């Protein structure tokens, strides 16, 4: 593992594809954002965030100017793009353009990265509990099918590090939004617990992606807080990680 990031094994068979999720290590930000804070919506200085983003991009073979990102709103809007840059209001980004690094920002929510190996298209999805409930992953897959002709058999996906089921305690109003398969009632604590990884993986499986082509992170932002930021555990005073995926430009012959 590079100190700055972890690369999903599911994508390593594709040399022209780069994908990873950042850790909290290897950056320049001070406490409480130490150290690789990639989020602009924090109290960290813009200069620190810019340098951290540069380091993350470099580790993935990109420049900061090739970054694509959106100010996320926990919705289900999908941004289909051909050029790098920033936007607002989108929680999923898709492209078939090489040289663009799609990113989503997380600190307990689920980063979902997808590669359509036949049509050479990629997606980066931010799935918090609200996005999960409205089917942001399913809708992104349907969008890719419409735009690129994406088929499930050609897709490889990564469900990234997020808050784990044993840490994601919710009230009844949130639990009611989830199917029984993704929630657990804890009698001792009188609370529900939600499995966001399982809920989002189910949307990939429902689209038809084989389980053998889906990798799920074994890590937790809460249980492995030494390596990842957790908004809930750190009571909002923390940094943000990124999940990133992009197709590398092939040098001209």
Report residue 14 as tokens: 């594709």
- What is the CATH number for 114? 3.60.140.10
Beta-carbon contacts of 86 under 8 Å, excluding residues fewer than 6 positions away, are 68, 69, 70, 71
**Domain tally, the chain:** 1
Q: Determine the Cα–Cα distance for residues 200 and 111; give it in Å rounded to an integer.
A: 10
Q: What is the pLDDT along the chain (253 residues), one digit of tens a residue?
A: 578 999 999 999 999 999 999 999 999 999 999 999 999 999 999 999 999 999 999 999 999 999 999 999 999 999 999 999 999 999 999 999 999 999 999 999 999 999 999 999 999 999 999 999 999 999 999 999 999 999 999 999 999 999 999 999 999 999 999 999 999 999 999 999 999 999 999 999 999 999 999 999 999 999 999 999 999 999 999 999 999 999 998 765 5
Whether residue 156 lies inside any domain: the answer is yes
Whether residue 253 lies inside any domain: the answer is no
Q: Determine the Cα–Cα distance for residues 244 and 105; give it in Å rounded to an integer.
A: 9
Domain span including residue 169: 5-247
Task: Report the 10 Å Cβ neighbour count for 49.
Answer: 23
Report residue 115 as tokens: 């590669």
Question: With contact defined as beta carbons under 8 Å apart, do 160 and 243 qualify?
Answer: yes
Whether residue 157 lies inside any domain: the answer is yes
Taking phi first (over 0 means left), then psi (-120 to 50 degrees means alpha), and beta for anything else, what does residue 230 get?
Answer: beta
């Amino acid at each position: 593992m590079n100190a700055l990031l972890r690369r999903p094994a599911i994508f390593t068979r594709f040399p022209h594809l780069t994908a990873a999720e950042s850790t909290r290590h290897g950056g320049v930000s001070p406490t409480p954002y130490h150290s690789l804070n990639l989020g602009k919506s924090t109290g960290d200085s813009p200069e620190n965030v810019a340098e951290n983003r540069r380091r993350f991009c470099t580790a993935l073979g990109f420049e900061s100017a090739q970054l694509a990102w959106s100010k996320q709103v926990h919705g289900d809007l999908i941004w289909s793009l051909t050029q790098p840059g920033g936007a607002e209001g989108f929680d999923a980004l898709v492209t078939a353009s090489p040289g663009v690094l799609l990113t989503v920002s997380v600190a307990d929510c689920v980063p979902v990265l997808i590669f359509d190996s036949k049509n050479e298209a990629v997606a980066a999805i931010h799935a918090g509990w609200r996005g999960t409930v409205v089917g942001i992953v399913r809708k992104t897959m349907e969008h890719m099918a419409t735009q690129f002709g994406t088929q499930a058999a050609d897709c490889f996906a990564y469900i990234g590090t997020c808050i784990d089921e044993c840490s994601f305690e919710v009230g009844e109003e949130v639990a009611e939004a989830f199917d029984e398969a993704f929630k657990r009632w804890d009698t001792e604590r009188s609370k529900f617990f939600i499995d966001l990884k399982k809920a989002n993986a189910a949307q990939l499986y429902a689209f038809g992606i084989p389980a053998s082509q889906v990798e799920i992170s074994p890590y937790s932002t809460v249980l492995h807080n030494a390596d990842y930021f957790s908004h809930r555990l750190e009571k909002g005073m923390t940094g943000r990680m990124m999940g990133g995926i992009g197709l590398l430009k092939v040098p001209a012959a």
